[in-house]
Amino acid sequence: GESVGLHLPTLSVQEGDNSIINCAYSNSASDYFIWYKQESGKGPQFIIDIRSNMDKRQGQRVTVLLNKTVKHLSLQIAATQPGDSAVYFCAENIRRSGNTPLVFGKGTRLSVIA
Amino acid sequence: NAGVTQTPKFRVLKTGQSMTLLCAQDMNHEYMYWYRQDPGMGLRLIHYSVGEGTTAKGEVPDGYNVSRLKKQNFLLGLESAAPSQTSVYFCASTQAFRGDNTEAFFGQGTRLTVV
CB-based contact, A29 to chain B, within 8 Å = no
Q: How many CB pairs under 8 A join A and B?
A: 77
Which tens digit of pLDDT belongs to each residue from B31-79? 999 999 998 778 999 999 999 999 999 989 999 999 999 999 999 999 9
- Mean residue pLDDT of chain B comes to 92
Residue B85's alpha-carbon distances to A40, B44, B79, in angstroms, are 21, 12, 11
Cβ of A96 and B99 within 8 Å? Answer: yes
Q: What pLDDT does residue B42 have? A: 83
Cβ of A36 and B31 within 8 Å? Answer: no
CB-based contact, B33 to chain A, within 8 Å = yes
Q: Which residues of chain A have pLDDT under 50?
A: 1-6
Of the candidates B99, B103, B108, the beta carbon closest to that of A42 is on B108
Cβ of B90 and A43 within 8 Å? Answer: yes
CB-based contact, B96 to chain A, within 8 Å = no
| Rounded distance between C-alpha atoms, residue B5 and residue B90, angstroms | 10
Q: What pLDDT does residue A93 have? A: 80
Angle, CA B109 vertex, CA B95 and CA B111 arms, to 5°: 155
CA of A90, closest CA in chain B: separation in Å?
Answer: 10
Which tens digit of pLDDT belongs to each residue from A28-60? 888 889 999 999 989 999 999 999 899 999 999
Q: What pLDDT does residue A1 have? A: 33
Q: How many CA atoms lie within 13 A of B31 on its CB side?
A: 17
CA of A10, closest CA in chain B: separation in Å?
Answer: 11
In chain B, residues with a C-beta closer than 8 Å to the C-beta of A106 are 40-42
| Rounded distance between C-alpha atoms, residue B85 and residue A39, angstroms | 23
| Rounded distance between C-alpha atoms, residue A74 and residue A90, angstroms | 9
